[in-house]
Amino acid sequence: MMKKIVYLFLTSLVLLVSCDNSKKDEKELNVQKDTVKIKKEEKKEYKNTYYDALASVMSGITPTNDTLKEVIQSQAWQTYSKNIQKTWQDKSSKFYILKEWAKEELKKANQIDGGCFYPFAGADILHAALFFPAFESYYMIGLEPVGSLPPFSQMSEEEMKEYFISLEKSMYHILNLSFFRTLSMKVDLTGKRVEELNGTIHLLLVFLKQLDYKIKDIQPMVLTSDGTLTPSDTFNTQAVRIVFAPQGNAQAEKELFYFSADLSDSHFTPNAPLYKWLQKQPISTTFLKSASYLMHKNYFSHIRSFILEKSQFVLQDDSGIPLRFFTDGHWHIQLYGSYTRPIALFKDWYQKDLYDLYHSNEKVKPLPFGIGYKYREGESTLMLIEKIQ
């Protein structure tokens, strides 16, 4: 009798514990569901279609709505649209080669989590997006101002004509030489040639649209002294955030941050707001191209050290960080193309160690396109440098 009572007691206890655990599991599952729900609700939904329509018009593309129909009906825009579409069509084969090369050679860099850091970039989101399409975040810095959106509703036919002519001219060097000329940008993107063409935002939007992205949001930003980035009500700022997504895949959102900033040591210090903000970002890859050999100079040591500390990968030509900073045994270097000497303007920054490495290394891979200051195919230098953990 006693054995039966003990058996019944133990059975009841097991059932009670099982029931209690079941309730706990159910409770934990509900908490997990609620957490997922909260995370989904935290993701902002962008319903403003004006930005995409505006970027389309700036790119010579007819928008999907009639928000700016007066502009696209103008002779100025129709001429611009015809010209710019032909230009992009002519360049499409080169862009295809870049993308196919990146699929193979930059596969590993594109597979790791993080963002793409592109200092000394100007408005060149074009090459960053072609080389690193998998990243969700791009961090770009240049001396050129952010600028403001073109006020088409306030512009006359003649003003629109001058704007579109100047916008087309401002793309010439990046599309034909693969880089922006600093002196040209000081005129083209500062409002000196045409008042409305006053910053990098114009070309950033054009390039994103021509790469078939949908513009979901444009937000001017300001940096506080503690390195916090906050929205601004006006475009008279030194930063902008652009949210975009591939056409047909609106949920695959990406973001581009552009900062107008001086990266020399006197400005880019560990106490600077921009330095503090960047330090908190998940940067995994740095891209350096046509960087004027600035990090070969002592007074750009802070940005150089920042890149070496934060980056798992560095893709650069010879104008980026000198080779000697990658020969301490902590980096693997893959060479592409060729190296002889810099162009005449930068002749003082010849690297003998880089020349020797190119001419003694049997593992130098071909580069099927031109890029950088030596933009002709067969003359360009490119290096993919990976940090060895």
Give per-residue pLDDT as tens, 109-122.
999 999 999 999 99
Number of neighbouring beta carbons within 10 Å of residue 175: 18
For residue 36, the model assigns a pLDDT of: 35
Comparing CA positions, the residue from 280, 306, 284, 315 lying closest to residue 111 is 284
Please report the pLDDT score of residue 42 as a whole number: 55
pTM given for the model: 0.86
Q: What whole-number distance in Å separates Cα of residue 33 and Cα of residue 10?
A: 34
Q: How many residues would you count in the chain?
A: 389
Give the model's pLDDT for residue 255. 98
In this prediction, residues 42-47 reach a mean pLDDT of 68
Pick from 327, 336, 333, 266: nearest CA to 299: 266
The answer to whether 331 touches 385, Cβ cutoff 8 Å, is yes
DSSP-assigned letters across all residues of 120-151: T-TT-HHHHHHH-TT-SEEEEEESS-------
Q: Is the pLDDT of residue 268 over 70?
A: yes
Helix/strand/coil for 80: helix
Instruction: Identify the H or E element spanning 243.
Output: strand 239-246
Q: What is the mean pLDDT of the chain?
A: 86
**What pLDDT is recorded for position 13?**
42
